[in-house]
Amino acid sequence: MKVCGTLFEYRGIQTLPQYNPFHLKKQGAMANPIKIFAGRSNTALAEKIADYLGTSLCNAKVENFSDGEISVNYFESIRGSDLFIIQSTNPPADNLMELLIMIDAARRSSAARITAVIPYYGYARQDRKDRPRVAITAKLVANLLTKAGANRILTMDLHAAQIQGFFDIPFDHLYSSVVLIDHILKMNLNGNLVVASPDVGGVKLARAFAEALGTDLVIVDKRRPKANVAEVMNIIGDVEGKDVLLVDDMIDTAGTLVNAAKAIQGAGGRKVFAAATHGILSGPAIDRINGSVLEKVIITDSVVTGHAPSPKLETVTVSNLFGEAIKRIYGDDSVSCLFDSKNLSKITNNHTQAIKEIKE
């Protein structure tokens, strides 16, 4: 990784004079320098976020001892800094442990504020006791992050929005729908499109897509006999002769998605597309997608899992969304304007143009 650039070294002091990206409330006042670091779970996304901000990732060494133990060493002073650590916590558990160690090292190095930027919040599916003698891992991870020393959390599309309540520190929850909807609009699908939720739990997300796209909502009712095995039951709504967009927060083994697409086409649906935030794509997911009736599956780059390539997969970056959120958190500005795709496009375009002018 390159050493952190000087563009955002101090708010109002060393920031280039022709553009102040953080809209300071106290111009010329000494402020905590921003430092952006990344773990190893998704360095490609972290580098895109830093590039959006017109800087580079700061210098840190994250490595493993021969027995697998993780070691973290920051190669520059972070004392008094506003620190952002970008790391998804998808399995293996090393990704979560790596983030905890990075937070602990930052806290012991006297960082003023530590924000854990978690594009994909792993272990979120176990968010309640739905049967006897099970763990609530979503709460466990919240406790670990807080105890390690995180002062703020920035994440996107939690499996259950109420997980935010497991934290007693500031929590910013972004929505990938603002990025995905903008991408879907550019696909120029005909006006015969409807949005479908692959299960009852995803109705709220699907409704948001349907309202933004100006379409009707369909629900696929299913019964899950056991973990990672889904059986589609029936379709609630009209798909006869229509193109259908299935939306979900994540795709794991793709069983739910593929079965829903099959059921929709069996009920008279025409072309079936899918959009999801987190492409976990474990086990037989790629084979199922390739052999399914799905025309295209759109995911974001929130997580890297090393899955096999597929001609049906299309990846959309959320780097601008996270970059803008980081900029606003650092500048003590509101992030709520990022919940609308039209606002996000306008804001990021203005920012990108300003950064371009500075570099020129």
Closest Cα to residue 152, out of 195, 112, 105?
Answer: 112
Of 222, 242, 271, 327, the active-site residue reads: 222
Alpha-helical runs (H) found in the chain: 43-52, 94-108, 137-148, 177-186, 203-213, 255-266, 285-290, 319-330, 341-359
Q: Is 186 a catalytic residue?
A: no
Adjacent-strand bridge partners of 70:
64
Residue with tokens 């020129």: 360
d(CA 206, CA 248): 7
d(CA 132, CA 143): 21
For residue 302, with 0-12 CB atoms within 10 Å meaning exposed, 13-18 middle and 19 or more buried, which class applies?
A: buried
Residue 126 tokens read as 């176990």
First to last CA, the chain: 23
- Catalytic positions, please? 222
